[in-house]
Amino acid sequence: MPDTHAALRNNVHLLGELLGNTIKEHMGEQFLDKVELIRQLAKASRAGSKAGQEALLTELKGLTDDELLPVTRAFNQFLNLANIAEQYHTISKHSQQCPLELNPIAELLDQLLARQFSADAIIENLSKLKIELVLTAHPTEITRRTLIKKYEEIANCLYVKDHHYLSGAEEEQLIHRLQQLVSQAWHTNEIREERPTPVDEARWGFSTIEYSLWYAIPRFLRQLNQQLKLRIKRGLPIDISPVRFASWMGGDRDGNPNVTAAVTHQVLMLSRWMAADLYLRDMDTLIGELSMNECSQRLLKEVGNQSEPYRVLLKKLQAQLRATRDWAESAAHTYIEPTKEVLLFKEDLLAPLQLCYQSLQDCGMHVIADGPLLDTLYRAHCFGLNLIKLDIRQDSSRHGDVMAELTNYLELGDYQTWSEEQKQAFLLRELASKRPLLPNQWQPSAEVKEVIDTCRVLSRHEPHAIGSYIISMAKQPSDVLAVILLLKECGVQHRVPVVPLFETLNDLANADDVIKNLLGVSWYRDYIQGSQEVMIGYSDSAKDAGTLMASWAQYQAQEKLVEVCAEVGVKLTLFHGRGGSIGRGGGPAHAAILSQPPGSIGERMRITEQGEMIRFKFGLPNVAVRSLALYTNAALEAKLIPPPVPKDSWREMMNSLTETSLEAYRGVVKENTDFVPYFRAATPEQELAKLPLGSRPAKRKTSGGLESLRAIPWIFAWTQNRLMLPSWLGSGEALQQALDNKQETLIRDMMAEWPFFRARVNMLEMVLAKTDLSLAAYYEQRLVPEPLQALGAELRHRLANTVEVVRYLKKVHELLSDEPWIQQSIALRNPYTDPLNVLQAELLFRLRHDAENIKPFIPQALMVTIAGIAAGMRNTG
């Protein structure tokens, strides 16, 4: 068999060698030798050498204070460089994991044709498909934007090395450039000195579009069109873009006091500024290229008798875009009414571009029409004038507080004490009323004023700038009606999709009743115009009930919601709030989409892309093209070739499995009094709060305990000590009980025939492959008080049993034996991640036991270990 990953290892070796050169130059050869010794000992320890393990611990414990930070930085930097090489390899010409010639769209088209789908049916379904990827700034992106840019250029250099014929001098120059970039990264602080603001996070999201998606979208659409023409002899209309984008950055205020109405307005204006600026760059190109004088009568009528009509029209558009950019900049902090030159509607941008395109086509200049002008048209249809739609998210209790304060002021009673029927009657009466509800002389509290100010900000922006209004912890129809009333009273004249988010186990179970009751309100049915969006929460349900029970609750909730909406003829859009980690609904997006209930993937779906996963999936244009193709492939396949309806025996088994898993999970997490003290001792949970990752606090309530801890630091903390408990606890116990009850045949039937169940087992296997019993035990030995250590032994025993049952079900001696790409990826990182785990435990011990005498670089070194382990763990980080 050919070695398909030799090129990857060569790139990893090259980058590692360049990092070694940098370290040697900066720290000396003796220090570099020490780093290499630690790496070799880590490899020996990983291979099972007891002597190697003991020598590794001795070497790491013997590091001087001056050596601690540089050593942690060396291993962290290597892991980041390995990630770059691997990310690039997935789209390189050497990769057989996802080679470019095996386009996922091409594979699906062949499959559809084999199933006798007509060209008309394929085009129709593709044209109606609307996948909206919602970028969120959840604090799992630990890498600074400054470093991300350097890493992107390193990947570009690897591309040039692979795809261009280089002379000896040119190759030497390229290697020198790589050396410069690696050295720049080494001499740059990995850890932010200050926590980013919500506006910083939004800018980071815009930069993903600016440097990657702006180029990826036209490439993706060209490839899609090419495959359609090749296989079904039909092209996709140029105004169709199956994938579009929204954002929570600057709009997600749930538990984040730093996201205010002023911030939301500023982010909306910055988004318009960035869009105008990007289109202006396109205008420079188009004006330079479209110098021809032959044009259609329509274009001639528009510009008059001009020798270069295309340039005349585009220069006018250029002036309008400049006016738009200037207005967006000046109105970023205080709203200013736009002048008549400012472009406000997407159609005003598209019209001149389409006129130029059609004129070139009419005059036989097809090759010119399908050049950069087509790319700009593709971008305009995808990004519009606002670049990216902004969602708003707020907790349902905040809207209830507004209504309560208002009704008390109006002497109507206390809204919070009313029954659901009373609340609905009041809200519907006010929604139908033509008089204002908010009195001018009313002076609400600061918290209530903030909610109202946010709604007023939305009234000042065009409909195409606003995505959905998400209600966290939605529990009743009144939660939705209250938001619609607030939007109306604050001057929002267009219909904003108001989306209930069902997160906890109980809320998921009741989701269909809430939507059924909501759709039973005739006023509301008229308001939604036949379309209902519902968000399914993955993170909090998994934290509440464990991943196995949560995933089954999410599946059943979707089934019931599909049924409820179908009964009344309403189109359902499901919004999947998936995280990057397995414990938060993450994992391969393609498999996740195809494992959803039949009928749940309709013409439109929304999915969150969070934190570091945005960079991994969309950070490089070619990687982004493939990610977009995979999403389109999965959504179209799920719609046209839906998975099987679960058999009754499968449902009964899932009910049994999840009851067992829930009991096991909650028995540990919620009923064992030692659990919370153990969690806080064995992981860096408390120290994570000091790491300036994102703008949002680690807890919803600063005074709250474990129950108020957000799902992200909950997962993140367990990832650091390699126990990864939230992703597997309960699953192994459930599967083992099924085997003990002689139901192996049924379990294997479900694995073979049911994509939902197969995806659960496969993702469980992947996360188990990244756990490490010995490292988890080492954290416990160094950090956990002896009375609590019995719980740690029990957890490791459960983990070991879970590994064994998954190995048995997958019929493998080693986890991921049938996924050599992922297996090799993990093996590549372990010798660099393992020393960081040992160092982190040591640093935590010093910080907790000798805080008064700790030198300033010790906390910094701890932060670097956190960053490095996150880089090493990838999608569980």
Q: Which residues belong to the active site?
A: 138, 543
Q: How many residues does the chain have?
A: 877
CA–centroid distance for 443 within its chain: 39
CA geometry: angle 607, 609, 611, nearest 5 deg:
155
AA identity, residue 163: H
Describe the crossing of helices 104-114 and 621-640 by its angle, rounded to 10 degrees: 20
**Contact status, residue 533 vs residue 468, Cβ threshold 8 Å:** yes
Closest CA to 427 of 412, 442, 440, 441: 412
User: Strand pairing partners for 606?
Assistant: 132, 575
Give dist(CA 777, CA 772) in Å, integer. 9
End-to-end CA distance of the chain: 33
H helix runs in 641-706, sequence order: 648-669, 675-682, 685-688
Residue 854 has φ and ψ, to the nearest 5°, of -75, 135
H helix runs in 247-331, sequence order: 261-289, 297-303, 309-330
CA geometry: angle 154, 157, 161, nearest 5 deg:
140
Q: Which helix (H) or strand (E) holds 407?
A: helix 396-409
Cβ-based burial of 756 (10 A; exposed 0-12, middle 13-18, buried ≥19): buried
Give dist(CA 581, CA 877) in Å, integer. 6
Closest CA to 286 of 383, 355, 224, 385: 355
AA identity, residue 267: V
Cβ-based burial of 741 (10 A; exposed 0-12, middle 13-18, buried ≥19): exposed
With the C-alpha atoms ordered 510, 516, 517, 519, is the resulting torsion angle positive or negative? positive
Q: Read out DSSP for 775-799?
A: HHHHHHHHHS-GGGHHHHHHHHHHH
CB atoms within 10 A of CB 559: 18
Cβ-based burial of 84 (10 A; exposed 0-12, middle 13-18, buried ≥19): buried
Beta strands in 676-716 (DSSP E): none
User: Strand pairing partners for 572?
Assistant: 532
